[in-house]
Chains A and B, each alone.
Chain A
């Protein structure tokens, strides 16, 4: 049973465009929703995170939009650059439970 569902599986975006990755969750006990970026041969690195009492969080070109009633959240990458080409994982964690539940990932490719 997949607790965090992520789409699309892969995404190709032109340089300068907007990349959008979507996630949905079932467990309302989740209290922390991070996004991770992973390059080949590297471990995941935290990109940006949000808690469910906030509907949007922006850090530079990266924005998380959060819809608590729909149990959905998304990552928007503005002005996408070739260096953003990587695999992105949405994730969730319960406030008092340390393990992170990851989505299956989205392989993003930005065309130069």
Chain B
């Protein structure tokens, strides 16, 4: 079946604008993760959902970042009042196990550029 998909693939925002990034996980996958990957760096954890429950949001850098997964499938990461330091690739990953024992499958990411 299809892998994890993300949209848009590229987003350019002016500083201060709000953006919304979408993640479609692999069908049936219970767990969904968001990571932020700055240029030339490894991905860094942002937040984790098990079905619709957000179990860990310890990696969200500020209260301008908000994520939701209301029906336990598609997830949206929203960034309010974007700043230049928010420029990065935002990766979504999903896995089939609620216990975290299984592999996380990553999407291609959304590259956000804040001008």
Contacts and interface: CB of A to CB of B under 8 A. Distances in A.
A99 B59 contact: yes
Nearest to B3: A43
Interface in B15-49: 31, 33, 35, 40-45, 48
Contacts of B101: 95
Contact of B33 (A6, A46, A96, A99): A99
Contact of A97 (B4, B40, B100, B109): B100
B62 interface: no
Interface residues of A, number: 22
B48 A99 contact: yes
Determine chain B's interface SS by DSSP, over half rule.
loop
Interface extent on B, as a size class? 20 to 34
Contacts of A41: 108
A110 to B, nearest CB: 20
B42 A98 contact: no
Interface string A24-64: 00000000001000000111111000000000000000000
A89 interface: yes
Contacts of B41: 104-105
Contact of B108 (A34, A42, A95, A99): A42
A43 B106 contact: yes
A42 B109 CA distance: 7
A43 B48 contact: no
18 contacts: A42-B109, A43-B93, A44-B43, A46-B103, A46-B104, A89-B42, A91-B42, A96-B100, A99-B33, A99-B48, A100-B104, A102-B42, A102-B43, A102-B44, A104-B41, A105-B40, A105-B41, A105-B42
